[in-house]
Amino acid sequence: MAEEEDCAVGPHIDVSSIEITPAEECAFEDGLGLVMYFSTDTYLAGYFWRVSYVVDTSKRRKIIDAGSTEPADYAPGSHAMAFSAPSMDIDSVPEDVRRQTNGLLVAALTGPNGEEAMAVNMVVQIREDEGILKRFIFNPME
């Protein structure tokens, strides 16, 4: 019998570099800048990057939408994405989310019909320092 080969379905996306700003620990509510350099082997029409903060609380998983990039067409080859979010109103973040010390910042390359081509997960550590909630995002490329 011939063995069947596992074939990856969908485009092959390769992330070569990630820049996160601020790059050091900062106040939880500070703005966020994210630049990713990536390549694709497939033409991607109308794709965008959706960015969210994901936390598992004691009761359930909570997802806070941080925003998304504008839809773009990506030809096979190298590209860059740039995302920025203004400062966040800390009072709009649920208390059970603020109490979690670890979460994920997720940047998902998403198609025009909502299909996810791939996602980059970045661990976020949260801690309180003299009454101020602080965050640090670990760059998975470092």
pLDDT of residue 6: 54
| pLDDT tens-digit map of 127-136 | 888 888 899 9
On the question of pLDDT at 25 being above 80, the answer is yes
What are the C-alpha distances in Å from 68 to residues 22, 72, 106? Answer: 18, 12, 11
Share of the chain above pLDDT 70, in %: 89
For residues 60 and 22, what is the distance between their CA atoms, to the nearest angstrom? 29
The residue to which tokens 């470092």 are assigned: 142
pLDDT of residue 133: 85
Which band of pLDDT confidence, cut at 50, 70 and 90, is reported for residue 113? very high
pLDDT of residue 122: 97
Q: Which DSSP state fits 94?
A: -
Contact assessment for residue 6 and residue 108, using Cβ atoms and an 8 Å cutoff:
no
Share of the chain above pLDDT 90, in %: 61
Q: What is the arithmetic mean of pLDDT over 16-20? A: 98
* pTM assigned to the model: 0.86
Length of the chain: 142
CATH 2.60.40.1490 fits 13-137, yes or no: yes
For the chain, domain boundaries: 13-137
| pLDDT tens-digit map of 55-110 | 887 788 888 888 999 999 999 999 999 999 988 766 767 777 777 789 999 999 99
